[in-house]
Amino acid sequence: MTKQKEVYKCEICGNIVEVLHEGNGTLVCCGKDMVLMYEKVEDEGNEKHLPVIEKKESGECLVKVGSIPHPMEEEHYIEWIEASDGEKACKVFLKAGDNPEAEFDFEPKTARAYCNIHGLWSKK
């Protein structure tokens, strides 16, 4: 059984899906069950992945990845940052060379970020 907002990855082709509507079945890609990406909530090692929410004077919020900026190289970068206030969620997609941050026009209660190497990270 899947739950809303869960993120799954295919270990064969790399497809990633997020559950929008809960169901009783399993998610399958390339003939195999997809793997649930558990949200990590504590940093490990030297690289920092946890989202940091900062409120700006303008009223907007900035979500940065890591207490020190996460690398944004071709081989290792943050693919997306998501923020939610409990009623709405917004996701910003990034690419190598971008800053590991995103602005939102609301104050998020939670934020998630996905690293192409180290997976899914969450600030709740």
Q: What is the C-alpha to C-alpha distance for residues 81 and 50, in angstroms, rounded to an integer?
A: 11
Nearest to 6, CA basis, from 33, 38, 34: 38
List domains and CATH numbers for the chain: 7-37 (2.20.28.100), 51-123 (2.60.40.730)
Residue 57 CB: number of other CB atoms within 10 A?
Answer: 5
pTM of structure: 0.91
pLDDT in tens, 68-122: 889 999 999 999 999 999 999 999 999 999 999 999 999 999 999 999 999 999 9
**30-72 residue pLDDT tens:** 999 999 999 999 887 677 899 999 998 887 899 999 888 899 9
Those residues whose C-beta lies under 8 Å from the C-beta of residue 49, and which sit 6 or more positions away, are: 40, 43, 65, 66, 70, 113, 115, 118, 121
Residue with tokens 């602005």: 103
Cβ partners under 8 Å of residue 45, min gap 6: none
Question: Is residue 99 within 8 Å of residue 28, measured between CB atoms?
Answer: no
